[in-house]
Amino acid sequence: MPHDKDTELYRRTLATWGEQAQHDQAVEECAELATALLHYRRGKAGADQVIDEMADVILMLGQLRWMFGSEKVDRAVTRKRAKLEALLRQVNSGKGGEG
């Protein structure tokens, strides 16, 4: 749930640059994070660079969540979390007693 200052920031950002620009910016920030992670794995980037790109993506996801509807997004997250929990139970069901 965004704080009021976040919602105000998202509203101003959308009013200034428009919806399509925000979609494009989200794509760009996700690509930058992906690149930073690949560089981090190869020792070409530090954790600080990854964290910096994560911050950009977190802000963009907040923006998109607000634009697409926070409640709808939160329901999707809840649904995905339940699927992941089910998958973990399935994967780990045969591992009991070996560790």
Q: Where along the sequence are the contacts to Mg ion (CB under 5 A)?
A: 29, 32, 53, 56
- Of 36 and 65, which CB lies nearer to Mg ion in the complex structure? 36
Q: Cβ-closest residue to Mg ion?
A: 56
- Of 34 and 88, which CB lies nearer to Mg ion in the complex structure? 34
Contact (Cβ atoms closer than 8 angstroms) between residue 94 and residue 30: no
Taking the complex as a whole, the smallest distance from the CB of residue 60 to Mg ion amounts, in Å, to 9
> What is the C-alpha to C-alpha distance for residues 75 and 64, in angstroms, rounded to an integer?
15
> What is the C-alpha to C-alpha distance for residues 99 and 96, in angstroms, rounded to an integer?
7
Structure tokens at 64: 């998109």
The structure tokens 């020792």 sit at 43
- Of 10 and 33, which CB lies nearer to Mg ion in the complex structure? 33
